[in-house]
Structure 1
Amino acid sequence: MDELLNGKSIKADFEAQVTAALMIQSNALIPLKLAARLCGIPKHEILRRIDCGTFPKPRTLSSTGKRIREAFYLKDLHEWIKCPHLYHQRGLHE
């Protein structure tokens, strides 16, 4: 009841939880901006770590001219979040 009085909707919380569960289950693709928020590091740091092989590589979604749309698989980000200091891209440092 307090949540309703504070302007928060139980329905909105439930919908957010369902959405998150579906994204995890389906291994959703996450854009760089959201990946930075989920991982707690800035975008430029993610890009630096990708180059070093210490962050998952994004997947190319499309390419038009100079613009390339990329996104990260949620499961790849989850692997990094579990142990960021030990993460290495497969095939890069093996």
Structure 2
Amino acid sequence: MEYDADRTKIYELVKSALCDVDKSLPAERISPESKLSELVDSLSLFELPLELEDKVKLAYRKNRFVITEEAIKGIVTVDDAVQALYKEIYGGKEV
């Protein structure tokens, strides 16, 4: 799967967040098709949105960025996370 520059940046943030919530997870095991539930345990899945919010705040200088509950519900794979974050960051505009 190929991403544009914006989605590639978000993909790297997602990978970094996954590795931060599960220190034993090697980054090379993560791909866009990976199911989050197969990468990290359920406790880490609970922590993941918070870690992603922190990373987005730093990377995009958005002090009040919050991932909506609606967005979280639709996230199953790494790609789902990338696409949901893209919509949250860029206000839903499609590119």
Fold agreement, TM-score > 0.5: no
Which is higher, the Rg of structure 1 or of structure 2?
A: 1
TM-score (norm 2): 0.33
TM-score (norm 1): 0.33
Higher helix fraction (1 or 2) = 2
